[in-house]
Structure 1
């Protein structure tokens, strides 16, 4: 029960980008174009890997699922954000808010696992090339992918605990989506258990994959440095350069967001830093693999030639 004259909250009010209303048309157009590029670029990778027989190798199968997670994460947030930009604010029910939060957690966490799996794949390809094909069999790849999705979906059900909280009085969320921190801060009931669970989940779902990724790249670097020929070093580095760029972009944005949150910077700065992993990283991944990966570039060139011939 809510105390005194406080009313129980059934809807939250997402405030969006306060103080930037005069720029809302420009923001809307920029984010709409970025969203279109994200969807087009990632779906292009999904289709290319699905149709190209020579791309049906573990690295590109994992990339296909990473691109799928990018599309789903961005679609969970950006359409609502565009709506908020035009309307200046948006009312959302607690149930819908928790649902969005669950999807953001799921698609964000599964990216950490896919990036870790891709780093393991690159480590095997360089450190243990002789046994690579026998280890990374199609069955193993699909078990790793399926296991990641199932595990992340299951653990993300921690969001159910948010539904047990009571919200009374204030209902304004100064953000463009239902972010965990600003939402839980509005709760009038005890949040200590939820925060403890969230810390454990974050360590398991973010820190462990990150530590594993760093460890695998330490092994990769050690292996490359101990190669006798310069051509062998260049070839080995080229096999993981695209993924290493993705790792730096993804975890670089997460670290930036975490530092801004820890410093308790302005709300608008926190919002724009959140855009780094929601918009910027999904936008960069197709660009990175299109420009730096020879197989993807070759498949794109073949596809364009076939398109011209057929038209």
Structure 2
């Protein structure tokens, strides 16, 4: 991201919750609880999957990747929001701001793509169980996960390298963290190319993956309806329904921010939407995907029995 030397901005002021001083304690408490829950839940999932051989399956391989992503994603933003909550002048240097923007974009993009891969994994497992172990073998799973990470790096690099912005002295960001849309709002240079790049990357990281997830769950629903056991249908519908709810929250919130015209954008609204999907989803994922699972519960009991 380049800047004009005459109007170079070396640091940004993140006003975040400063506009709502009466909500500081509540905001700090909620974010702290959410972050600690994110660390505990996702850390526990990674630990259990690593140490229990029974969890060394494709589904849990992807879940461990998702938990690692959520740990990193939460850590990229929540600690800073906590530190700045009661700060009088929450400044962030230009280099740190750009780094945070890049890291958050890579992790968010990787999660969007990984959620689509996980939907495909569940579709194959439910609609074609006899061929599941052949289709989703170890090398295939590793390539799918690596593709998610690699594509996120490429798409983020394309977006970040296209940011040729001049700020004309403006350095106040109405957000809790450095975020690409907030930076575009500060720029006094032409941002039409940047907006086009956001639209293009949004299609590949939001609309197409979300569409694929929905199609996968349509296939899953069709397969589930063929199950004769009412109890079996209810169990699968309950699990898939909770998965789809969290996925819809994540994609829906991101799409509402990045895929709408800039003229319809509201800084106050956008920053709270970003907190919603940037903090709530990493906390909910381990609860929805793993901690309710009987295999994970069995692994937890084994670990507790060994320590007793």
Following the alignment from structure 2 to structure 1, what is the Cα–Cα distance between the partners of residues 18 and 291? 37
Q: CA deviation at 1:235?
A: 5.5
- Per mean C-alpha deviation after superposition, the further-off stretch among 68-77 and 229-238 is 229-238
SS at match of 2:45: helix
Alignment of 1:1-311 (within 5 A): 7-157=7-157, 158-162=159-163, 164-234=164-234, 236-237=236-237, 240=240, 243-254=243-254, 257=257, 264=264, 267-307=267-307, 309=308
Gap regions ≥5 residues in structure 2: none
Alignment TM-score, normalising by the size of structure 1: 0.89
Q: Residue 49 of structure 2 contacts residue 55 of structure 2 at CA under 8 Å; is this kept in 1?
A: yes
- How has the CA–CA distance of structure 1 residues 306 and 242 changed in structure 2, closer, same or farther, with 3 Å as cutoff? farther
Following the alignment from structure 1 to structure 2, what is the Cα–Cα distance between the partners of residues 189 and 255? 25
Q: CA deviation at 1:151?
A: 1.2
Q: Residue 206 of structure 2 contacts residue 254 of structure 2 at CA under 8 Å; is this kept in 1?
A: no
SS at match of 2:12: strand
- How has the CA–CA distance of structure 1 residues 127 and 24 changed in structure 2, closer, same or farther, with 3 Å as cutoff? same
Q: Residue 16 of structure 1 contacts residue 88 of structure 1 at CA under 8 Å; is this kept in 2?
A: no
Cα distance per residue 1:189-230 (max 9 Å; x no partner): 221112111110110111111011111111111121233443
SS at match of 1:223: helix
Q: CA deviation at 1:10?
A: 2.3
Cα distance per residue 1:129-156 (max 9 Å; x no partner): 1111011001110111111111111110
Q: Residue 260 of structure 1 contacts residue 270 of structure 1 at CA under 8 Å; is this kept in 2?
A: no
Q: CA deviation at 1:295?
A: 1.1
Q: Residue 224 of structure 2 contacts residue 236 of structure 2 at CA under 8 Å; is this kept in 1?
A: yes
Number of matched residues? 305
- How has the CA–CA distance of structure 1 residues 237 and 54 changed in structure 2, closer, same or farther, with 3 Å as cutoff? farther
Q: Residue 202 of structure 2 contacts residue 258 of structure 2 at CA under 8 Å; is this kept in 1?
A: no
Q: Residue 289 of structure 1 contacts residue 296 of structure 1 at CA under 8 Å; is this kept in 2?
A: no
Following the alignment from structure 1 to structure 2, what is the Cα–Cα distance between the partners of residues 214 and 123? 11
Q: Residue 7 of structure 2 contacts residue 166 of structure 2 at CA under 8 Å; is this kept in 1?
A: no
Q: Residue 46 of structure 1 contacts residue 67 of structure 1 at CA under 8 Å; is this kept in 2?
A: yes
Gap regions ≥5 residues in structure 1: none
SS at match of 1:12: strand
Following the alignment from structure 2 to structure 1, what is the Cα–Cα distance between the partners of residues 237 and 105? 32
